[in-house]
Every structure is written in C-alpha cells, then in structure tokens.
A and B are shown apart, each in its own frame.
Chain A
C-alpha cells in the first residue's frame, strides 16, 4: 500500500465550479501536511500547508483529519488557471524526517 494515496482523476469541471480532492496517508507518525501544485512539465510548487484546524487562502481551503488520516483541498469558484496537478504531501518523522508525495490529482477547468 502506498504511504500517500490520491485519486489520480482527471477531474474535468466547468469554470466557477467547486471541486474537492482527498488524500489518505497510512503512517500515523506523519506530522506535517501540504498541498502542492504542479503545472505540466514544471516543478511542484507549494500551494499551502494543512492544519487540523483547517486553513483558508482565498478560494482554497485545506483540512486535515488526523483520526481518519486524510487531507482535503477545496477549490471554490474555479478558474481556468487552476488547471494543474495537485499533489498531497506528508512529512513523516521517525529518527529523521522524510517527505512523501502522492501521485497527484489532475484537474482540468473548462470554459
């Protein structure tokens, strides 16, 4: 079983729609959580951190559920420019930290 699992998509939604992604992680030692965005053939870029209390950045809301070991990302009023692959990222701390990436969820926004 992969340490971090995401629905690969693709999600194809109209502009202005609300879309949500989920991600599950298997290692209970996981302590930091992030969402990254990756555009085609480019490097991943940090979108936002994820906290148990939930956090919001404009149209983006991230949530962590430690009990169920899943992370979510909600995008409201989606724009064409939101089309990208969204990567769920977990940092695991044992004797040292390790960053594990999910395989990503592809999102395509249509006009």
Chain B
C-alpha cells in the first residue's frame, strides 16, 4: 500500500544545530507540504512543493528550508535550531486539485 513516512519520529537537538527532518511518500503525488503544530494550536504551513525542483514558502517559513530533488522526498531543514521551533512537524502529500492530503505520523522535535 502507498504511504507517507516521516523520520525520525522523535528528536531532541541543541540550539544552533542544523536539523533535517525526512519525509518520503510512495503515492507518487506531485504536491507535498510541511506543517508545524504547537500544543493546543492548529496546523501552520511552513513550505510546500508542487513538483521536482519547485518549492514555495508558507506562512511560517523563516528559519526553515526545503528541497525537492525527486517526487518521493521533501526534507525539511532547520538551519540553526531555536527553542521556538520546538513543535510537532507533519508532512503531507496530495495528488492535486480536488484530492485530499495524506499525512505522515509526525516528528516531535524538541530544541533545548
């Protein structure tokens, strides 16, 4: 069955370190998204991509970057981790207009 997986599921890192969160989908979806969700709050869009070599900034993109070198993967990089980036990160993919998005299980990131 097609799926979308994130790794690691949990990570603790120190302030100032570079961190990369992986997202891999086997749906062959063109659209991929990264969201963060803070305790008691909704999902906020960080970055998104509509295909290989395409990346776009979401509403909370500062301090984050993504790259899309193939259809399956959209890694999220925190250039210099800050405590304010402690959150749960969700990756999602969708086939395109009219189709719902499917989510990975999330990565719980703690920056100390």
Contact = CB atoms under 8 A, between A and B. Distances in A.
B100 A97 contact: no
B42 A49 contact: no
Contact size range, B: 20 to 34
Interface in B74-112: 88, 90, 92, 94, 96-106
A70 interface: no
Interface string B40-81: 011101001010000010000000000000000000000000
A91 B98 CA distance: 8
A contact face: mostly helix, strand, loop, or mixed: strand
Contact of B45 (A32, A45, A93, A100): A100
Interface residues of A, number: 24
B25 interface: no
Contact of A87 (B43, B94, B102): B43
A101 B104 contact: no
Contacts, number: 54
A44 interface: yes
Contact of A103 (B41, B88, B96, B101): B41
B42 A103 contact: yes
A72 B50 CA distance: 29
Interface in A81-111: 87, 89, 91, 93, 96-104
A66 B102 CA distance: 25
Nearest to B102: A46
Contacts of A98: 45, 48
Interface of A: 31-32, 34, 36, 41-46, 49, 87, 89, 91, 93, 96-104
9 contacts: A43-B103, A44-B43, A44-B90, A44-B103, A45-B103, A46-B101, A49-B100, A99-B48, A101-B45
Given A31-B97, A44-B43, A46-B100, 4 more contacts: A41-B88, A45-B103, A97-B97, A98-B45
